[in-house]
């Protein structure tokens, strides 16, 4: 992982979705009642893996465009070597493999940092 900021974003993103009750599939973010909202929306309380990364960056930076750029850099650190050619690795992992697989991927990226 290239920077301390990236590591802090990943740590915070993992904290956001550590509980399955704060994790979701099929959308970047939603409220507790399941209504989809932007990952930056203050009413969001559940995120997918990518949404949590974007939100964590936003919480640190306060700018949605910068948060998305930094978030995209962090997402690249989670993609396993040799799979960078696969578009959608993290959304597929999130939506098809489940919460435990997402947390394990975050943990592997943090260990590699």
DSSP 58-84: HHHH--HHHHHHHHHHHHHHHSPTT-T
Residue 109: its pLDDT value, please? 92
pLDDT digits (tens, 9 = 90+) for 33-78: 999 999 999 999 999 999 999 999 999 999 999 999 999 999 988 8
Domain spans in the chain, listed from the N-terminal domain onward: 4-112
In the chain, where do the E strands start and end? 29-30, 46-47
Residue 1: its pLDDT value, please? 42
Q: What is the pTM of this model?
A: 0.93
pLDDT over 80 (residue 110)? yes
Q: How far is CA 41 from CA 17, 54, 84, 91, in A?
A: 16, 11, 29, 20
């Amino acid at each position: 992982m290239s920077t301390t900021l990236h590591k802090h974003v990943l740590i915070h993103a993992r904290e956001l979705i550590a509980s399955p009750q704060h994790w979701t599939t099929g959308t970047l973010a939603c409220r507790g009642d399941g209504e989809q909202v932007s990952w930056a929306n203050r009413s969001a309380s559940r995120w997918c893996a990518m949404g949590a990364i974007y939100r964590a960056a936003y919480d640190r930076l306060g700018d949605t465009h910068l948060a998305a750029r930094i978030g995209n850099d962090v997402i690249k650190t989670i993609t396993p070597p040799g799979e960078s050619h696969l578009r959608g690795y993290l959304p597929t992992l999130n939506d098809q493999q489940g919460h435990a697989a997402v947390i394990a991927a975050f943990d592997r990226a943090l260990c590699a940092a």
